[in-house]
Structure 1
Amino acid sequence: MMILKDILYKVSLDIVIGATDVAINQIQFDSRAIEKGDAFVALKGTAVDGHEYIEKAVSQGATAIILEELPDYQEESVTYVKVSNAHNALALMAANFYDNPSKQLKLVGVTGTNGKTTTTSLLYQLFKKSGFKAGLISTVEILINEKVVATKHTTPDPLTINKHLADMVSIGVDYCFMEVSSHGIAQERVTGLEFAGGIFTNLSHDHLDYHNSFAEYRNVKKRFFDDMPKHAFVLTNLDDKNGAVMLQNTKARKLGYALKTYTDYRAQIIENQFGGLLLKINEHEVWSKMVGQFNAYNVLAIYACAIELGLDEIEVLEVISQLQGVSGRFQYFTTVENKITAIVDYAHTPDALKNVLETINSIRTRNEKVITVVGCGGDRDNTKRPKMAHIAAALSDQVIFTSDNPRTEDPQKILDDMEKGVQPQDFKKTITILDRRQAIKAAAKMADKNDIILIAGKGHETYQEINGVRSDFNDRTIIADFLNQLQK
């Protein structure tokens, strides 16, 4: 319980009708969760406008309503607070309500198109193995030191973030590593958080269904660094053409990392194979279980971050050699009998798919086939579909286009969009199988000894969403079952 005026600290207020010295039990932005004594924040979303539920919130006992548009009738016993941006207000209120937990630990945010999950997860592992209590807020899971919490969004809502950070503070967590998505920045979910550091991984085609243009997508990412405090550090990938852009207006300490550019933190790939990477980082050699150039950037980023947070260089390198890959990110196994390698990866953007296939092609001997199973999600950016198909067909020996998560969209339409990107010389390489399970089965049957199967797009996900219904579906277990059956 907290007094409303304290919860509203730093919130820009336009109009206040009623008392602000009232006690508030909880903050809610879902009217269905309102109980007596709660404050309701009316958010305007893409599908739902919270202002339509103000009357319901009041009837359920809301003490205060934070809104952008005042209703014609105001209940005398309720306080109405008009703000220009309710999303911004919610974020600041959430931080105040939970006693600004981000200031009580060292919070590092990671943003970019690809690599966020791997980088944050590796940082969590590194600091845990280095003897610290650590937290993780990622696409795959939320970890409060050892405790696992399920997650639905890359960047959760501000109430959820601050609650988990407060839980971390309560058990003495020293560091928390958090994925920061473009949606999360645009919707003010990370507003009010104090970051000790920020990492930029890379920028490529994604989320253009939400952002109107690539420039808008880039500028939203940049905003995260623009708002970074003076005492923080910013690590940016200077091999990415947008890396330097992220540093333009930040007040934080500016640092770069790269494989090809001379900067603060540099790495060189000495060996790259399915077993892992041998890297030379700032004149020290280190072996990593991670695979591919894209993971060399991730490893370099976590090394640089750890050093900036004060860890010992040699100890960091020793721990890096012990770190495990992340679920659904270049996760692979090889069958015992036929030596067929199956790789499951979350690659769902053109750049991510290109990175994975280029990594496979750089390691393979060319005496084997690369068979790729790939689809694109429904109700999402449809401009990347032909690009994904073009990359898959150009960099694979055989390709099966199939469903990903169609959601509410016609799966065949998604595949039709993809097929438009296949070049004439690659037509013979491709087939389309609408049912994802059957597509994976076909790939298993097509594979000969030593062949490589890549199943891209869903990675760690254990479901498939069709017509708004989620059913159990796990790429890893399905390909393993089919390959095992063929070996018997």
Structure 2
Amino acid sequence: MDQVKELSSLLGRVADAAVSGPVNVMVNQIVLDSRRVLPGSMFVALRGTQVDGHQFIDKATALGASVIVCEELPANVSDQVTYVRVADSAAAMGLMAAEFYENPSRRLKLVGVTGTNGKTSVATFLFQLFRALGYRCGLLSTVQNQIEDEVIPSTHTTPDSVALNALLSKMLDSRCTHVFMEVSSHSVAQHRITGLHFAGGIFTNITHDHLDFHKTFDNYIKAKKGFFDQLPKSAFALINVDDRRGSVMVQNTSARKETYSLQTLAAFKGKIISDTLAGMHMEINQHEVWFRVIGRFNAYNLLAVYGAAILLGENEEAVLTELSSLKSPPGRFEQFHSADHVVGIVDYAHTPDALENVLETIRHLRNGNEKVITIVGCGGNRDAEKRPKMAAIACKYSDKVILTSDNPRFEDPMDILDQMRKGVPPLDYKKTRVIEDRREAINQANREAMDGDIILIAGKGHENYQDVQGVKHHFDDKEVLLEAFALR
């Protein structure tokens, strides 16, 4: 259904709006790309990291925009346009987008998941769990957005506030009652979630990541914490208290504080009884359950999901029963087996902490003399500090290491690999090599793997492309691995 709203109805929560022109003008869409402006559009001029939308105000006016939202009025003001001047265009857009779509988040049970690692798994497990419990659900994740069985490709971990509210409105139209979404640090800092009403927030963990954007680790922590600062009193804030910064996240929240842990007292307490490639046996709040997913990191994910489900009012026994049959999301410790028993694991681990978690899990799952061959790279135009750390961790836990290209973006792949190579300890030079071509790296690992060995392909997980100089070329780690296995 086409949305048309009077400007006055969109300004209710924008406290600092200075309006020049009539407020009874009709708005038929909110856009932040001037190329999409149509007569009757509201154009929001955002100051982005690459481009300043204020440069395109005249173009938006020429294309028929009826309202311009900006932080600074243009030199040429048109008497045919209403100008809304605000302190922060992104924050104002979040509030107005929510009003434009009639605040869909207030009519849904919206749960946000934030943290460095585990966001996708927790959000996806919640989506699968609540569908299994009989609810109609929506999912907003790095891998994909989903409305029941309808898959909508994902381009950002968290969409912009207009796209986000449009998706939530569509989910409401599809009779969804629950929506589970990843909340990235970028989305908080850029006000993409401003104006949303959350029923709950979950904190998984925090380690160094995205310092290319946030510049300092303190800024990164503040962005994550900003999500919990925004939660209403009616919501829950569920934190992993085994992460020493968990309590920092909820220092200023109005939400009800709840905890989960594998190591200390918590409202939702877990203990790993056994962990094998076939599955994991856990005790959760004095209930013993066998799960199909494995690894200590997944034990934390399961505890977060269990806790959130109970806080949303679900029956404990029903939750544990359904959780026991869930599978990992695509590209999250996803296992493949060759005919001669080589195990291939594809995982999205692209931070030092995530890579260490995966490799530690593999070490605990080894039965005897199996060798671990790790293939890993680092993305271009991203936090360079982690590159030598990733290589050092791969060497620490692996029998052989192949450093390879990930998504080089606009950097030279060999420059990235040279930075990674600086993290290789001298004693590990012999077991480490650089193969820039990712396909050849996977094929070489396959040629060297013997019966029972484990090949870990880390960094890209669910992605089915390589980003080179701004062009996405088809590349799927799983496809390449299975092609290699077929030749064994």
Structure 2-normalised TM-score?
A: 0.99
The equivalent of 2:37 in structure 1 is 34
1:8 paired with 2:11, answer: yes
Partner of residue 338, structure 2: 335
- Alpha-carbon separation, structure 2, partners of 1:34 and 1:431: 51
**Could you say which residue in structure 1 is the equivalent of 2:90?**
87
Kindly provide the CA deviation profile for residues 33-89 of structure 1, in whole angstroms up to 9, marking residues without a partner as x. Answer: 000010100000010000000010001000010000111121111011110000001
List alignment gaps of at least 5 residues for structure 1: none
Residues 1:163 and 2:166 aligned together: yes
The answer on 1:124 being equivalent to 2:127 is yes
1:480 to 465, 479, 482: 482
Q: Separation in 2 of the partners of 1:72 and 1:204?
A: 45
Q: Which consecutive segments of 4 or more residues in structure 1 shift more than 2 A? A: 12-15
Are residues 1:384 and 2:386 paired?
Answer: yes
CA distance in 1, matches of 2:213, 2:257: 29
Q: CA deviation at 1:169?
A: 1.1
1:24 maps to 27
Aligned positions of 1:121-200 closer than 5 A = 121-200=124-203
Among 319, 342, 359, the residue aligned to 1:316: 319
Preserved contact between residue 11 and residue 92 of structure 1 (Cα < 8 Å): yes
What amino acid maps onto 1:105 in structure 2?
A: L
Instruction: Spell out the pairing of 1:55-74 with structure 2 (5 A cutoff).
Output: 55-74=58-77
**Which residue in 1 is equivalent to 2:245?**
242
Unmatched 5+ residue regions in structure 2? none
User: What amino acid sits opposite 1:52 in the alignment?
Assistant: Q
- Secondary structure of the corresponding residue to residue 268 of structure 1: strand
Query: Which letter maps to 1:196?
Result: A
The answer on 1:263 being equivalent to 2:260 is no
Matched, 1:433 2:435: yes
Letter in structure 2 aligned against 1:393? C
Shift of 1:14: 4.4
| Structure 2 CA distance for aligned equivalents of residues 380 and 366 of structure 1 | 37
Counterpart for residue 422 of structure 2: 420
1:444 and 2:421 are equivalent in the alignment: no
Q: Distance in 2 between matches of 1:424 and 1:406?
A: 26
Residue matched to 2:367:
365
Contact kept? 1:13, 1:81, Cα under 8 Å: no
How far residue 366 of structure 1 moved from its aligned partner, in angstroms, is 3.5
Give, in whole Å, the separation in 2 of the partners of 1:170 and 1:86: 28
The superposition leaves residues 121-179 of structure 1 with CA deviations (integer Å, 9 ceiling, x where unpaired) of 00000000000011100001111122111110001100111011111111221100000
CA drift at 1:90: 0.7
The counterpart of 1:464, out of the listed 463, 466, 485, is 466
CA distance in 2: counterparts of 1:222 and 1:81, whole angstroms? 30
Please give the alpha-carbon distance, in whole angstroms, between the structure 2 residues aligned to 1:318 and 1:343.
Answer: 26
Q: Deviations over 1:244-294 (max 9, x none)?
A: 111211111000000001111100001101111111000001111111000
Contact 1:345-1:454 at 8 Å conserved across structures:
yes
1:447-468 deviation per Cα after TM superposition (whole angstroms, max 9, x unaligned): 0111000000000000011111
Check whether the contact 2:11–2:17 (CA below 8 A) recurs between aligned residues.
no
Percent sequence identity is 53
Distance (Å, rounded) in 1 between the aligned partners of 2:412 and 2:368:
37
Question: 1:113 matched to which residue of 2?
Answer: 116
Secondary structure in 1 matching 2:213 = coil
State the number of aligned residues.
485
C-alpha contact (below 8 Å) 1:199/1:236 kept by paired residues: yes
Aligned match of 1:349: 351
- Tell me how far apart the structure 1 counterparts of residues 97 and 382 of structure 2 sit (CA, whole Å): 29
Instruction: Give 1:291-302 correspondences, 5 Å limit.
Output: 291-302=294-305
Asked whether 1:99 is paired with 2:102, we answer yes
Please list, as runs of the form range in 1=range in 2, the aligned pairs for 1:268-283 lying within 5 A after superposition. Answer: 268-283=271-286
CA distance in 2, matches of 1:184, 1:130: 30
* Counterpart secondary structure, 1:314: helix
Spell out, residue by residue over 1:73-121, the C-alpha distance to the aligned partner (whole angstroms, 9 max, x if none): 2111101111000000110111000000000010000000000000000
TM-score (norm. length: structure 1): 0.99
